[in-house]
Homo-oligomer: A and B are copies of this chain.
Amino acid sequence: MEAISIVGFTAAVFTTISFLPQVIKIIKTKHTKDLSLGMYAFFVTGVLLWFVYGFLIYDIPVIIANGITLLLSTVILIYIIKYSNHQPAE
């Protein structure tokens, strides 16, 4: 793998796995009050479009990276909606 590809591959690994610590934190604390519903609504929509785009251009790395990110960010979005009724707004 050439140097440029290694930078791109490492970038994809970092941005893809980054959502895992947030999922773990939510499962542990059951708190999502400080997380923005708007952010995850936009983000999940965008990543879903990236996932579709991956199939349209048939690029396996784009499909896999965005597939994992879509899964993790959707879990966060569901938890934000689930816990929104139990935490008073500030």
Contact B7–A53 (Cβ < 8 Å): yes
The smallest beta-carbon distance between A32 and chain B, in angstroms, is 6
Measured CB to CB, the nearest residue on chain B to A87 is: B34
Decide if the interface of chain A is mainly helix, strand, loop or mixed.
Answer: helix
Measured CB to CB, the nearest residue on chain B to A38 is: B21
Measured CB to CB, the nearest residue on chain B to A56 is: B4
Q: Which residues of B contact A4 (CB under 8 A)?
A: 53, 56-57
3 nearest A-B residue pairs (beta carbon): A14-B46, A21-B38, A11-B49
19 more contacts with CB within 8 A, not counting A20-B39, A25-B39, are A7-B56, A8-B50, A11-B46, A11-B50, A14-B45, A14-B46, A15-B42, A15-B50, A18-B40, A18-B42, A21-B36, A22-B38, A22-B39, A25-B34, A29-B34, A31-B33, A33-B34, A34-B34, A34-B35
